[in-house]
């Protein structure tokens, strides 16, 4: 373990305090209460709205007190993913932080640097007497990870500032000036079931060990999707008379599924053949995803309790066809920006509700009409299969403004500090800037942040040195408004 750089200690200490507080999406009352109390204890004005977004108003320091208000913005919630071995309870357990050389990670869970690090930086900027800053509004939104709900609920006038620094980007040295819009779709398909036949044995089947990751940032990596891996393996077993039941997998609309599981009812005389088939499927899939998912595994274990109902052969065939017909991954690359994913879909969550399967998908695109077209395709697949589709939780893309005065200021300061120009990019992920900008005419916005790897997965980690670089840069940007 290496000691964090002195310049980052206060930020890391604040992040550690935040990490003690449960903040799963839609379970944010404790962190919102804590933030409100933090502000009130310091005599700062704090405002909340109908969904519990928090805005803390901080007067400017001497010499900058009459500068324009700068909004420092992040979201309070986190994606809660853990390894199958972890017993962590996100409703009450603190995140266990692990310093690992140059990186900070968590013990078998997501770290929550996305976006707890924004809260930490904002609070330290507001409370450290050594920090020179203009009047600030710390805007901390709720429920970003499940569809940017908090940003969508912001009422006109809640924010007074017209300069916004979003602290939810994940690469130091990169200024984000645009992002994709998004839409979720819930698909439901009834599947034919039958009474569990005699002469079969029940097993638990797990397709696991996959890398997963952020469904926007990491979708270009072509990583394995556990839902599709599971169903491909099941398809190979259907000739052996296998009857699936109780399928589930994935945990968040914006995380590529890492693990999925199903019950399998196997004819007693076919167990050895099924095991051999799974071994062959595992070898095939490991070779297919050798560079992205080297720990992919297919595991079959006996199950003590036998099911009463299982899918019929026709139901199982329909399940396989449905899951595999739904598109997953990159749908189109941008023709304007080389290397940028324009449109994609994440086949995110599968569950059984009675004798029906539900699948949640998450579409993204920087071109809203193409996102709508992809959504129509997914809805159409469900209808053609005899199922139902319901789409919602949409949010707009953020179109870049390359003539932004804030962008020119931020590029100039970065080059002065570090002797090189920052990367200016548009990302294939959802940021709240698009929504906030649409609700506040004339808002000038940039997104930045320290380097975070593998967000939305238990492999999430933040580079400690990059926290110091971004912190120093943020201080320079804020102080520059004294000019």
Cα separation, 429 vs 215, in Å, equals: 8
Contact criterion met (CB below 8 Å) for 417 and 379:
no
| pLDDT over 50 at 2, yes or no | no
| Tokens 């009474």, located at residue | 195
Can you give the pLDDT at residue 5? 58
Q: What is the pLDDT of residues 297-306, one digit of tens each?
A: 999 999 999 9
Residue 6: the pLDDT is: 61
Q: Which two tokens stand for residue 315?
A: 């139901």
Q: Dihedral (C-alpha) 47, 48, 53, 58: value to the nearest 10 degrees? A: 10
Q: Are 421 and 415 in contact (CB under 8 A)?
A: yes
Q: Is 204 known to be catalytic?
A: no
Q: Is 144 annotated in the active site?
A: yes
* Per-residue pLDDT at 482: 84
Taking the C-alpha atoms of residue 122 and residue 144, their distance in angstroms, rounded to an integer, is: 17
Structure tokens at 137: 């509004």
Helices (H) and strands (E) in the chain, counts: 11, 25
What distance in Å separates the CA atoms of residue 108 and residue 198, rounded to the nearest whole number? 41
Predicted confidence (pLDDT) per residue in 281-296, tens digit: 999 999 999 999 999 9
pLDDT of residue 394: 85
At residue 4, does pLDDT exceed 50?
Answer: no
Q: How many CA atoms lie within 13 A of 95 on its CB side?
A: 30
10-19: average pLDDT: 97
Which SS3 state, helix, strand or coil, does residue 413 take?
helix
- Give the residue-averaged pLDDT of 218-226: 97
The span from the CA of 359 to the CA of 375, in Å, is: 14
The pLDDT of residue 483 is: 72
Q: What is the pLDDT of residues 57-82, one digit of tens each?
A: 999 999 999 999 999 999 999 999 99
Q: Is the pLDDT of residue 146 over 90?
A: no
Centre a 10 Å sphere on the Cβ of residue 389 and count the other Cβ atoms it contains. Answer: 20
Residue 459 DSSP label: T
Question: Which entry of 77, 145, 379, 432 is annotated as an active-site residue?
Answer: 77
Q: Which domains does the chain have, with CATH numbers?
A: 6-180+397-482 (3.40.630.10), 183-395 (3.30.70.360)
The single residue of 28, 81, 144, 432 carrying the catalytic annotation is: 144
Tokens of 54: 């928090």
Q: 274: closest CA among 296, 303, 298?
A: 298
Q: Which residues contact 343 (CB under 8 A, 6 or more apart)?
A: 330, 331, 332, 363, 364, 365, 366, 367, 370, 371, 374
What is the Cα–Cα distance from 313 to 311, expressed in whole angstroms? 6
Beta bridge partners of 185: 361, 391
Q: Evaluate if residue 226 carries a pLDDT over 60.
A: yes
Tens-place pLDDT, residues 394-445:
888 999 999 999 999 999 999 999 999 999 999 998 899 999 998 999 999 9
CA-CA distance, 301 to 285, in Å (whole number)?
Answer: 20
> How confident is the model over 104-137, as pLDDT tens digits?
999 999 999 999 999 999 999 999 999 999 999 9
What crossing angle do the helices spanning 113-127 and 464-479 adopt, rounded to 10°? 40
Picking from 241, 264, 219, 209, the residue whose alpha carbon sits closest to that of residue 458 is 209
């Amino acid at each position: 373990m290496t000691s964090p750089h002195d310049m980052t200690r206060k930020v890391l200490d604040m992040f550690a305090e935040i990490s003690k507080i449960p903040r799963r999406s839609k379970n944010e009352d404790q962190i919102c209460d804590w933030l409100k109390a933090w502000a009130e204890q310091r005599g700062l004005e704090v405002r909340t709205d109908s969904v519990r977004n928090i805005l803390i108003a901080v007067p400017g320091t001497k010499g900058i007190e009459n500068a324009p208000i700068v909004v420092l913005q992040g979201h309070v919630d986190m994606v809660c993913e853990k390894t199958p071995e972890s017993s962590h309870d996100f409703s009450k357990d603190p995140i266990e932080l692990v310093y690992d050389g140059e990186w900070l990670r968590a013990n078998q869970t997501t770290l929550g640097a996305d976006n707890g690090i924004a809260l930490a930086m904002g609070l330290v900027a507001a409370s450290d007497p050594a920090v020179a800053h203009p009047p600030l509004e710390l805007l901390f939104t709720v429920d970003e990870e499940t569809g940017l709900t908090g940003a969508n609920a912001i009422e006109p006038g809640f924010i007074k500032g017209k300069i916004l620094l979003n602290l939810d980007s994940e690469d130091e040295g990169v200024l984000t000036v645009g992002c994709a819009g998004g839409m979720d779709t819930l698909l439901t398909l009834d599947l034919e079931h039958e009474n569990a036949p005699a002469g079969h044995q029940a097993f638990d089947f797990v397709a696991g060990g996959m890398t997963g990751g952020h469904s926007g940032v990491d979708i270009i990596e072509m990583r394995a999707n556990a839902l599709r891996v599971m169903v491909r393996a099941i398809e190979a077993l259907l000739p052996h008379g296998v009857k699936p039941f109780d399928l589930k997998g994935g945990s968040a609309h914006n995380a590529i599924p890492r693990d999925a599981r199903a019950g399998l009812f196997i004819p007693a005389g076919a167990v050895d053949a099924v095991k051999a088939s799974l071994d062959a499927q595992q070898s095939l899939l490991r070779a297919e995803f050798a560079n992205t998912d080297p720990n992919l595994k297919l595991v079959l274990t006996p199950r003590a309790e036998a099911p009463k109902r299982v899918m019929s052969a026709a139901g199982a065939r329909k399940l396989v066809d449905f899951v595999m017909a739904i598109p997953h991954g990159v749908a189109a690359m941008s023709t304007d920006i080389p290397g940028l994913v324009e449109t994609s879909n994440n086949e995110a969550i599968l569950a059984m509700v009675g004798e029906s399967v539900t699948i949640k998908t998450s579409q993204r695109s920087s071109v809203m009409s193409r996102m709508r077209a992809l959504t129509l395709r997914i809805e159409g697949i469900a209808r053609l299969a005899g199922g139902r589709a319901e789409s919602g939780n949409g949010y707009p893309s953020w179109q870049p403004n390359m003539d932004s005065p804030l962008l020119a200021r931020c590029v100039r300061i970065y080059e002065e500090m570090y002797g090189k120009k920052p990367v200016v990019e548009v990302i294939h992920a959802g940021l709240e800037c698009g929504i906030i900008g649409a609700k506040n005419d004339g808002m000038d916005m940039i997104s930045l942040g320290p380097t975070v790897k593998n967000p939305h997965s238990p492999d999430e980690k933040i580079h400690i040195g990059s926290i110091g670089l971004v912190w120093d840069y943020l201080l320079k940007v804020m102080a520059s408004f004294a000019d």
